[in-house]
């Protein structure tokens, strides 16, 4: 990661990797009882970032690509979803 050229990634990345998958997981669980909301959202974020880089849109182009690989996003989302699937409780998943 180049620490000098990136704009908002120190503040955007933790917020995005914690709150967005948790919100998607809550929505999918409460409305549909499907325990794959976090994985679905991370795949959607990765797809959106790929499209963004492909069409050279300015919004996410300064976001470090090394922190957006599926090896960092998908395992975290799978862990959230597996804990919810096994426990069937959002309270236990929050811990």
Domain that holds residue 51: 11-94
The closest of 26, 21, 3, 11 to 76, measured between CA atoms, is: 21
Q: Give a yes or no: residue 59 inside a domain.
A: yes
Cα–Cα dist 76/54, whole Å: 25
Count of all residues that appear for the chain in the document? 95
What tens-digit pLDDT sequence spans the chain (95 residues)? 555 556 666 677 777 788 889 899 999 999 999 999 999 998 998 888 777 777 766 666 666 666 566 677 888 899 989 999 999 998 898 87
Q: Give a yes or no: residue 3 inside a domain.
A: no
- Split into its structural domains, the chain has a count of 1
Q: Give a yes or no: residue 5 inside a domain.
A: no
The closest of 68, 19, 74 to 48, measured between CA atoms, is: 68
Residue 32 Ramachandran class (φ > 0 left, ψ -120 to 50 alpha, else beta): alpha
Q: Give a yes or no: residue 1 inside a domain.
A: no
Please check whether residue 13 is in contact with residue 72, taking contact to mean a CB–CB distance below 8 angstroms: no
pLDDT at 14: 74
């Amino acid at each position: 990661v180049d620490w000098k050229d990136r704009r908002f990634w120190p503040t955007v990345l933790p917020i995005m990797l914690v709150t967005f998958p948790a919100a998607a997981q809550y929505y999918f669980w409460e409305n549909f009882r499907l325990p794959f909301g976090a994985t679905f959202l991370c795949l959607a974020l990765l797809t959106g970032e790929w499209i963004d880089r492909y069409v050279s849109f300015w919004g996410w182009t300064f976001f470090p690509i090394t922190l957006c690989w599926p090896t960092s996003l998908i395992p975290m989302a799978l862990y959230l979803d597996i804990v919810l699937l096994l426990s069937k409780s959002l309270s236990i998943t929050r811990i």
